[in-house]
Amino acid sequence: MNDHQTRLSLEDAWTLSIDVLEQNGFSQDQAAAIARSVMAAQRDECHSHGMYRLLDCVRTVRYGGVEPRAVPEIHEKAPGVISVDARGGCSLLAFETAREPFIEKARATGVAVLAVKNAFHFSALWPEVESLANQGLVALAMTPSHAYVAPAGGHSPLLGTNPIAFAWPRPESEPFVFDFATSVVARGEVELHRRAGESIPEGWALDETGQPTTDPSAALAGALLPFGGHKGAALSIMIELLAGPLIGDRLGHQTRPADGSDEGAPQHGEFILAMDPHAFLGTGVATRLQQAEALFEGITAQGARLPSQRRYGARKRSQAEGVIIPQKLHDELVKLRDP
Ligand code: NDP
Ligand code: PYC
């Protein structure tokens, strides 16, 4: 920890988050769902979607981009399809509202999709898929975010940063989980570099004229690049299609980001798929989960790490020692709590 940072217990960080949200108009339920997500991210040291995102939540409610007291509404669409209308509120309470019926559906039908619609969506996806894997399900989630990313070979923002997250239950440890943007990094990471006065690595972004840049402000005004060139871009397009037109919601370029810039509605959708291994394997689930363990052991035996390994380590550390956030962020949050 350095002089520009402050340490908070998990309890104090939780209380500060809730107070900031409720003071700025979010209902108790909306605030709690948002705080659970940003606190999980802060605890696991996923800084780009941790407490810093509370600033976006307040900014968005102030310009009218989110309905802070929305009550989500569940719709049964088909035996394996459930939809939850966030009604302009945050995606997080919509997911939480639909989570139990979704799990029941996945268990009853073997495979189920949850379509979250009309949601202000700012969060990391891993808490959602991890929570499903903790119930023994295999889960995949994706959302189209906003037009921040140039297509491979292009020069202007069109695709979202479009994250994809996957979780696999493990018999004797936390689930295997990955969750990443299909841009080289999440835009939040570029924003954190800008706030810290640091340049970004080459290969992350283009400026407004389509030239490569290492200046985070120029990158935020320009376009991020997809990871892996045409491969990341194709995955990103798939995410736009599944979490947009397929579920009856918007593409990334039809939305407006949290800062209220650009035309369009601030809300969009999320697509979540859950698969129950029992439907595929019956009594053979334990054997097959053990087979998967051999793959994980093979990876770590080479000295490589599993996605989520760092995060679970950070979780243990934060549970013992609390979280560290920039002093500047703490001051900004206190100001939002005590206007
Ligand atoms: P990263 O590029 O940091 O990738 C994160 C994933 O890769 C994690 O699962 C991480 O595991 C894993 N990982 C990182 N390094 C390694 C390694 N060396 N070996 C194995 N696995 C590794 O994240 P992004 O910047 O792309 O995305 C960050 C977050 O932003 C995500 O949670 C995403 O959901 C969120 N996001 C949300 C958006 C939205 O619209 N709501 C839009 C875009 C992004 P670990 O955590 O253990 O390090
Ligand atoms: O970090 O790219 C991002 C992002 C977009 C929307 C929410 N997070």
Residue-range domain boundaries for the chain: 1-62+308-339, 72-183+226-306
Q: Ligand 2 centre and the CA of 192: distance in Å?
A: 12
Cβ-based burial of 50 (10 A; exposed 0-12, middle 13-18, buried ≥19):
buried
Active-site hit among 45, 48, 73, 208? 48
SS3 of residue 183 by DSSP: strand
Supply the ipTM of this predicted assembly.
0.99
36 in ligand 2 pocket by Cβ < 6 Å?
no
Q: 209-212: which pairs have CB atoms within 8 A and are 24 or more residues apart?
A: 210/150, 210/155, 210/156
188 in ligand 2 pocket by Cβ < 6 Å?
yes
145 in ligand 2 pocket by Cβ < 6 Å?
yes
Which listed CATH number (3.40.718.10, 3.30.420.40, 1.10.1530.10, 3.90.180.10) goes with 1-62+308-339?
A: 1.10.1530.10
- Closest ligand 2 atom number to CA of residue 161: 2
Catalytic residue list contains 75: no
CA dist list (Å): 181 to 19, 124, 225, 275, 308: 29, 9, 11, 22, 15
Q: Ligand 1 centre and the CA of 179: distance in Å?
A: 5
**Residue 129 forms beta bridges with which residues?**
none
Q: What secondary structure letter does DSSP report for 247?
A: G
47 in ligand 1 pocket by Cβ < 6 Å?
no
Which listed CATH number (3.30.465.10, 3.40.50.620, 3.40.50.150, 3.30.1370.60) goes with 72-183+226-306?
A: 3.30.1370.60
- Mutation pick for ligand 2 pocket among 91, 187, 192, 239 (CB with most ligand atoms within 8 Å): 187
Catalytic residue list contains 183: no
Taking only the tens of pLDDT, the chain with its 339 residues reads: 888 999 999 999 999 999 999 999 999 999 999 999 999 999 999 999 999 999 999 999 998 899 999 999 999 999 999 999 999 999 999 999 999 999 999 999 999 999 999 999 999 999 999 999 999 999 999 999 999 999 999 999 999 999 999 999 999 999 999 999 999 999 999 999 999 999 999 999 999 999 999 999 999 999 999 999 999 999 999 999 999 999 999 999 999 877 777 667 789 999 999 999 999 999 999 999 999 999 999 999 999 999 999 999 999 999 999 999 999 999 999 999 998
